[in-house]
Amino acid sequence: MFCLLLLLLLSFLVQGSDQWHNGDCAELSNTTWLQYRQQRLQLQVQFLLLTRQNPECAKTFGEDSLGKENYFNASKPTKVIIHGYRAMGSKPSWAGQLAHALLGVQDVNVVMVDWVYGASFAYNLVVENYKEVALQISVLINLLQKQGCALESFHLIGVSLGAHVAGFVGTLFEGKIGRITALDPAGPMFKGADTYDRLDPSDAQFVDAIHTDSDYFGISIPVGHVDFFLNGGKDQTGCARSHFASMYGYVICDHMRAVHVYMSALNGSCPLTGIPCSSYDDFLKGRCVNCDAFKGRCPAIGLSEKCGLSVSPVPSQQKLFLLTTSLPPFCAHHILLAMEVSALSKSAEVEVTLTTGSLATKQRLRLQKSASAYTTMMAHPVALCEIHSISMRNTGARLYQQGSVHVKWVCLSHVVANTREEPLCINNVNVRRGAPWSHDLVQVCGLFRR
């Protein structure tokens, strides 16, 4: 019994001497409406540290832990994750997933900013708190500078309202922070705000933003050096469009898609590149098909320096557009469809489908009597020469639209492909109502490659 007690005492002493390494893991906060009412005057910001040495056990991090034994390494870059508004007071479950994705790509310090108590329930009051959160983050960065961290080694990743928190941190450091990434930066109360009060390109040496819900919770204007507008920045594929769908599907899905796409991009399984264009409508009509403005290299979502840009000076508020699929890894190949039809006596509508196995991409083209040439951008999960077939169907109304459409030629080309390929073209196609037309593309592509 004496020996057992002695062993237990020694174990306790060892644990106490190494409390940082073996103490309890810290977690992001939750709050309730009652707690909020009792504590709403207390902002309660805390910082949680994750590294490759403690990837599954976050540690509370701050002034008290500096100068002591901890996992923070001042010689490595530091990623700072900043969540935004928490309508119901719940902790951001995605924050840990994002931290793990970052650690999987780079050996860095990841600091998660937890300000759930000040970010919950009443949005207008939460907006009043965001600059105070930025001040507290700046205090931590100042302390870390004294530990040997350079300002350019900090990369702030802000989600929704957290993007503007990151922007104000950048303002406090006069734009010397290395990088800010904004994941669907918040729109309400910020679209018409002065640049001092919202994120803008002057807040860091490089600012990139991903827009996925610019018609509701996100901001619709460019806020960075490069701004990626996924599917136009509004309605995302796979997200419910009905008020009767689940609350998540209708309200949050578009807004949070930026986070999930960013995490997918970190895995690097496929490129998510944007194409510069003045508007989404021009992009869809095939008027923007290259990245000559960036010396032929398109910016890509992810951690590559300046999104892969090598041009100097870095552009500012450059709109970039790309199409995505509905599921991870979200990457789509941009296929430009162009066709010319013979003169029509009535308006018509043709549905074009690209098929690869069980995968099908559909696009409807409205044909007018006054036009003969049409172009449209389509997103397909596989590359051009992996598409099995193309089919067309006359979907026009029986009485009021064209009964038969003669397509002089239809061509498909891969936009921003790694290799320059000539378009695949098929000539002389008749698409009659009730008689869908289909053609094997594998054979065409094989002939082309010879």
- Cα of first residue to Cα of last residue in the chain, in angstroms, is 84
- With H, G, I as helix, E, B as strand and everything else as coil, classify residue 90: coil
Amino acid type, 181:
T
Strand runs labelled E in 298-358: 318-322, 333-341, 348-356
DSSP letter string, 337-400: EEEEE---SS-EEEEEEEEETTEEEEEEEEE-TT--EEEEEEEESS-GGG--EEEEEE---TTT
Report the C-alpha gap between 234 and 62 in whole angstroms. Answer: 38
Strand runs labelled E in 252-291: 275-276
- With H, G, I as helix, E, B as strand and everything else as coil, classify residue 247: helix
Task: Return the closest-CA partner of residue 217 out of 240, 251, 248, 242.
Answer: 251
Instruction: Tokens for 6, please give them.
Output: 């002695």
- 138 tagged catalytic: no
Task: Return the closest-CA partner of residue 184 out of 215, 207, 221, 214.
Answer: 214
Torsion angle (degrees, nearest 10) of CA 118, 122, 124, 129: -10
* Ramachandran area for residue 235 (φ above 0: left; ψ -120 to 50: alpha; else beta): beta
Catalytic residue among 155, 225, 255, 334: 255
- 160 tagged catalytic: yes
- With H, G, I as helix, E, B as strand and everything else as coil, classify residue 368: coil
DSSP letter string, 107-134: --EEEEEE-GGGSBS-HHHHHHHHHHHH
Catalytic residue among 184, 203, 227, 254: 184
Q: Are 187 and 219 in contact (CB under 8 A)?
A: yes
Token pair 């378009």 in the structure block, residue: 423
- 255 tagged catalytic: yes
Catalytic residue among 160, 214, 264, 413: 160
- With H, G, I as helix, E, B as strand and everything else as coil, classify residue 136: helix
Report the C-alpha gap between 56 and 70 in whole angstroms. Answer: 15
Query: Which residues carry out catalysis?
Result: 160, 184, 255
